[in-house]
Chains A and B, each alone.
Chain A
Amino acid sequence: GENVEQHPSTLSVQEGDSAVIKCTYSDSASNYFPWYKQELGKRPQLIIDIRSNVGEKKDQRIAVTLNKTAKHFSLHITETQPEDSAVYFCAAKWGNFGNEKLTFGTGTRLTIIP
């Protein structure tokens, strides 16, 4: 199966600074890597994803980079705001066609300090 490791487990940054969360994966066949944000007491929601045919994807203040050779991908949040405080999960898709699944990382609790 797939093993996804996520670091750090907690991260505190000053409002306006950047935050970076990193994940590694084990299955070289994985080709889809989403990031989910979970606010306190809420359900996880997709914020950005990347496929293995691109190295970087941006959406306003968030970006994701992928290094297939090293099998790691990262989430970058710039100009952080209080509403960015949440738990962030990375994930990787694996499995044979028709039986594909996501394996999630263990999460990063991001706190934005006003």
Chain B
Amino acid sequence: IAGITQAPTSQILAAGRRMTLRCTQDMRHNAMYWYRQDLGLGLRLIHYSNTAGTTGKGEVPDGYSVSRANTDDFPLTLASAVPSQTSVYFCASSDSGAGGEQFFGPGTRLTVL
């Protein structure tokens, strides 16, 4: 692994289903973030983690949960997907929190029908 990866690349999901988006980084960055990108709305923060074992809510956390059991992994779970969660999801990491460069993953395109 080099940098930050996300899986799956894309997914079509039926409403009401549970889904976990995976994010892994090998840069030993302390901070990790999940954003959703929607046309005309830019990047909106869903949840973040400043260090392993801690998480925080961003701007649009409802319907999503995260965990940070270790430094490398930061999965995002949709407990019961709804069509409004159709979006492109980006994971990012940083070695200096929000005050430094954030490195983004390639994104996951999620469609909820």
Contact = CB atoms under 8 A, between A and B. Distances in A.
Given A100-B97, A102-B45, A43 B40 contact: no
A11 to B, nearest CB: 15
B48 A101 contact: yes
Interface stretch (B11-19, B21-29, B79-87, B103-111): B103-111
A46 interface: yes
A103 interface: yes
A45 B35 CA distance: 14
Contacts, number: 53
B53 interface: no
B94 to A, nearest CB: 9
A98 B51 CA distance: 9
Question: Which of A95, A101, A104 has the most chain B CB within a 10 Å cutoff?
Answer: A101
Interface string A85-98: 00001000101001
Interface in A36-82: 43-46, 49
Nearest to B41: A106
B68 interface: no
Given A32-B99, A100-B99, A107-B42, 19 more contacts: A1-B59, A6-B42, A32-B98, A34-B101, A34-B102, A43-B90, A43-B106, A43-B107, A89-B42, A89-B43, A98-B50, A100-B97, A101-B56, A101-B98, A102-B33, A104-B35, A104-B44, A106-B40, A106-B42
21 contacts: A1-B59, A31-B99, A32-B98, A32-B99, A34-B101, A34-B102, A43-B90, A43-B107, A44-B104, A46-B101, A49-B101, A89-B42, A89-B43, A101-B48, A101-B56, A101-B98, A103-B59, A104-B42, A104-B44, A105-B42, A106-B41
Interface of B: 33, 35, 40-45, 48, 50, 56, 58-59, 90, 97-99, 101-102, 104-107
